[in-house]
Amino acid sequence: QSALTQPASVSGSPGQSITISCTGTSSDVGGYDFVSWHQQHPDKAPRLMVYDVSYRPSGVSNRFSGSKSGNTASLTISGLQAEDEATYYCISYTRSAALVFGGGTKLTVL
């Protein structure tokens, strides 16, 4: 179970759009539509932002959207706001009936 690969950091200005990638293999991201994204602010519990690749839970802004192509899933945040500054983690179901997180991406809103 190797961790999924995410960029360590991304940044954007308010109002802009950014995309965070999450790369795995055909045994995890590429093999199942069970990829979720979680947002974590410092010293807070994580919050679910997207599940099953592209579905948003109730209460999550439609500025957050998810997609997948091959072995890479992506989270796009449009209309960046200051409160979006946080660390984002992807997680995927794997062929061995386990789950694996990405290393996390720190988003800075400039």
Partner 1 sequence: EVQLVESGGGVERPGGSLRLSCAASGFTFDDFGMSWVRQVPGKGLEWVSGINWNGVSTGYADSVKGRFTISRDNAKNSLYLQMNSLRGEDTALYHCARDTLGIRGAFDIWGQGTMVTVSS
Min CB(14)–partner 1 separation in Å: 26
Closer CB to partner 1, 14 or 57, in the complex: 57
CA 56 to CA 14: how far, in whole Å?
Answer: 22
Min CB(77)–partner 1 separation in Å: 19
Contact between residue 99 and residue 1 where contact means Cβ atoms under 8 Å apart = no
**Footprint on this chain of partner 1 (rule: CB under 8 A):** 1, 3, 34-36, 38, 40, 45-48, 51-52, 57, 87, 89, 91-93, 96-104
Q: Is 84 exposed, middle or buried (0-12, 13-18, 19+ CB in 10 A)?
A: buried
Min CB(89)–partner 1 separation in Å: 5
Contacts of 33 (CB under 8 A, 6+ apart): 52, 53, 68
Closer CB to partner 1, 1 or 17, in the complex: 1
Closer CB to partner 1, 25 or 34, in the complex: 34
